[in-house]
Amino acid sequence: MNLTLHEIGRAVHATNDFEKYKDLKINKLEFDSRKIESGDVFLPLKGEHDGHDFIKKAFLQGALVTLTQYPLSEENPFLQVADTKVALQGLAHYYLKKENPDVISITGSNGKTTTKDMTAAVLATHYRTYKTQGNNNNEIGLPYTILSMPEDTEKLVLEMGMDRPGDIVFLSELANPKIALITLIGESHLEFFGTRKEIARGKMGITAGLKRENVLVAPADPIIDEFIPEGQKIVRFGKTGADLYVTKLTEHKENLTFETNFFGKSITIPVPGKFNANNAMLAAYVGKLEGVPEGKIHQALSSVQLTKNRTEWLKSVNGVDILSDVYNANPTAMRLILETFQAIERNFGGRKVVVLADMLELGEHSAELHASISAVVQNEKLDKIFLYGPMMKNLAEKLPEALYFTSFDELSQAVQEFIREGDQILIKGSNGMGLAKLVEILTTEEATLL
């Protein structure tokens, strides 16, 4: 981190006399005391626990200075601020302007993490690039990402998440992106937004920190039209006839190949799901905008590594192919992955099995949205359907052949007893439903063979 103690004090408007401390270069900033190393800044936050309770521990582990909302003894250097979270955000904004990388911001109801990974992989072939690590995409995670970037970063790819109205506006104004992408306007977080139109309004908040002459890349979906700022440069993608679109898509079990209307040759990516063609297309387009040669774009996408639990093929201990997509779920994503799974060729002698769990935060429309998944289920292509969670009961009523569970342990046992070598199984649900545990069981314990 290219900051000194005094520079941080001025940036966060510390109210105590910090000039008396020796001015030293900072190593990095951490708000988890367990990660503190010699020379770090400790920034305590208030959450389930009050980080101020861990200040002493942070100094014992080598912290150089701590921020604090309360006055401390002079035993160790401290910077007193009114609110440590606001200080974190203000420091990130200052550091971003100081280092001045080009920011590419990405949001969307589905595909934002995958698109982030792909975009960063493309840019990294030509520039010093840093990206959001894991799921650090909110009002705390995004500033932490900024403050964690290497000093020589040229391109910074930031994922922006949204739980409440105004979230994306705040993040965009903090980051001031050069390029902004919206992957999809779906049904995620209907519980907090009420309608898909309000979700669109929330996602379009990404233009708040975007200059009108800089480009917004957004779906060719009319639901966003009324929220496009006057004079905003915009590129639309998706359907044929848009500015960007996918052509000649061919799906395989572990990869897909496609062409676009703007890229010189076909692209193959090592992940399944036709929805990932759009994600890769967006990454390729950002690469072209930023001057990355087509050969390097092709090379990056052909070997891209995605964040864990995003549409990945795994192998169970008893020879079952597992298509795991258990990080998050919404109706659009669930329909798309079902269509992909059903289109994949069976293994010789194997069966196709689906495990679906609740999609969370869908609000008053949750029951009908769960039931609507039945429209894409092709019974003739599936040998067994397992449904889990209170809201999945609505889908179970539409699919009388499905097995419905309210207990995770019973679901896990039933799945293990059913699957056998050569089968393919899709496991999909919101992170809060704990299906990652089922994936772990199937890949680390000996499942029952029939």
Any known ligand binding at 350? no
- Rounded Cα distance, 6 and 249, in Å: 55
Decide: 124 and 300 in contact? Cβ < 8 Å. Answer: yes
Q: Where are the alpha helices (DSSP H) in 40-140?
A: 55-60, 84-99, 112-124
Distances (CA, A) of 190 to 106, 269, 334, 362, 431: 20, 31, 16, 5, 16
CA 51 to chain centre: 26
Residue 192 tokens, joined: 């907090």
In the three-class reduction of DSSP (H, G, I as helix; E, B as strand; rest coil), residue 213 is classed as: coil
Any known ligand binding at 114? yes
Any known ligand binding at 110? yes
Distances (CA, A) of 39 to 5, 74, 226: 10, 18, 49
Task: Map tokens 């209170």 to a residue.
Answer: 390
- Rounded Cα distance, 29 and 36, in Å: 8
Any known ligand binding at 111? yes
- Rounded Cα distance, 102 and 119, in Å: 13
Decide: 161 and 80 in contact? Cβ < 8 Å. Answer: no
- Rounded Cα distance, 239 and 261, in Å: 11
Any known ligand binding at 264? no
Query: What is the side-by-side strand order in the sheet with 403-405?
Result: 312-315, 321-325, 424-428, 352-357, 384-388, 403-405
Show binding-site residues: 108-114
Show binding-site residues for ATP: 108-114
